[in-house]
Amino acid sequence: MKTSLSLIALYKLFYFSVNSQSINANCPWDPSPLTVPEDDDVTYAELKTTGSVHSLAVSQRGPAENAGSGTNPNKMAAVYLGLLCVVLLTVIILLCANHNRSFKNIIDEHSSLSQNFSLLERDVEQLQRNYSILTEENAKLKKNYSRLVNITEELERERSKLQTEITDFYDILSYKYPSMNKYCNFSSEETEIHCEPCPQSWHQHGSKCYYFSDAEKNWTDSHKDCIKQGAHLVIIESMEEQEFINKHTTELPSWIGLLKLKNTWFWVDSTSVVKSFWNRKQTYPNEPCACTYKDHWYQLHCRNPRRWICETDSFLFKTL
């Protein structure tokens, strides 16, 4: 835009210069202004004479003089035209250079855009592949989720069913075995029954559980205490059992479940004595109750306070 305005300005300057020279060359009069004498006595005849002389002088100039004065404007026009051509050529060169730079920039930008477009196309293709893979994975995950939901629901139903069965089974066991609460810890909110072979503070030996008291009572009260705990005073049936009891009764004698009726010794379950461990050196052997102390049995009056030993079966859970 600026280049176009410059060309228009140069053209107007050239046009004005050429027209000015043409006008000066073709004028038949002297461009210098006419002067009127300051003398007030100048008459019309003198003015007329002066004008006639000036006209004559002008008319006496030959054609050659007029022709000689017309060559200078043509030369000036040629010079201006040459300058205009030079300016136009310079402007054209500048425009071409600017156009070449702009065209080169456009080519470079087009090349860069083409490369970026190719990269974007590859990225789009990769994204499409990734999208397809993710779509397949999402479909698989949905299937797996649905399957897991079904499995979870099935397991929840099985859990509820098993918990109901356990509760019912525990109720049956509690009814059949009232002393089971001593061995097992169970609540309706739990899904398992935790049972120990012996109650707390009892000692297991084989299939039996033994309770060794720290307090002292007579034989009758000791036996009642064992019955309250779902047990009875201990019945010793073997040397191995006697040795086990000896390890826990080294300090003081303890009541055992042996009682004499009509000079015959019976266990509290009314069975006869098969194997005995009496101390034969005892000086007063005619008492009705018995206690154990340091590997042997001793006869003792039932009213004497002594420690005692309770015995019961251990809780062995068997599959029905």
Residues 6+ positions from 306 with CB-CB distance below 8 Å: 216, 217, 218, 219, 222, 252, 253, 254, 255, 291, 300
Which residue did the predictor score with more confidence, 42 or 241? 241
Instruction: Output the six-digit token pair for 196.
Output: 């120990």
pLDDT at position 75 is: 86
**Euclidean distance between CA atoms 300 and 291, whole angstroms:** 7
User: Is residue 261 a contact partner of residue 274, using CB atoms and an 8 Å limit?
Assistant: no
pLDDT at position 197 is: 84
pLDDT at position 8 is: 57
pLDDT above 90: residue 35 = no
Q: 214's torsion region: left (phi>0), alpha (psi -120 to 50) or beta?
A: alpha
Which residue did the predictor score with more confidence, 52 or 308? 308
What are the structural domains of the chain?
1-26+75-102 (no CATH), 125-195 (no CATH), 202-313 (3.10.100.10)
pLDDT above 80: residue 146 = yes
pLDDT at position 100 is: 87
Instruction: Output the six-digit token pair for 72.
Output: 């200078």
pLDDT above 70: residue 188 = no
Q: pLDDT category, 242, cuts 50, 70, 90?
A: very high
Which residue spans within 136-253 are E strands per DSSP?
Answer: 184-185, 194-195, 203-205, 208-212, 232-233
**Euclidean distance between CA atoms 205 and 191, whole angstroms:** 30
Q: Which of 192, 138, 200 is nearest to 166 (CA)?
A: 192
Q: pLDDT category, 279, cuts 50, 70, 90?
A: confident
Per-residue pLDDT tens for 65-95? 444 445 577 888 888 898 999 999 999 999 9
pLDDT at position 163 is: 85
pLDDT above 70: residue 43 = no
pLDDT above 70: residue 36 = no
Structure-token match 């004595």, residue found: 273
Per-residue pLDDT tens for 7-24? 555 555 555 554 554 544
Interval 158-185 mean pLDDT = 74
Which of 86-90, 281-285, 304-308 is least confident?
281-285
Interval 244-262 mean pLDDT = 90
pLDDT at position 282 is: 77
Which of 51-60, 204-213, 270-279, 283-292 is least confident?
51-60
Instruction: Output the six-digit token pair for 162.
Output: 């098993």
pLDDT at position 101 is: 87
Interval 252-279 mean pLDDT = 91
Give CA separation, 183 vs 198, 206, 210, 230, 288, in Å: 6, 16, 13, 11, 34
Using DSSP bridges, classify how beta strands 307-313 and 254-261 pair: parallel, antiparallel or unpaired: parallel
pLDDT at position 103 is: 86
Interval 259-264 mean pLDDT = 89
Interval 287-307 mean pLDDT = 92
Q: pLDDT category, 294, cuts 50, 70, 90?
A: confident
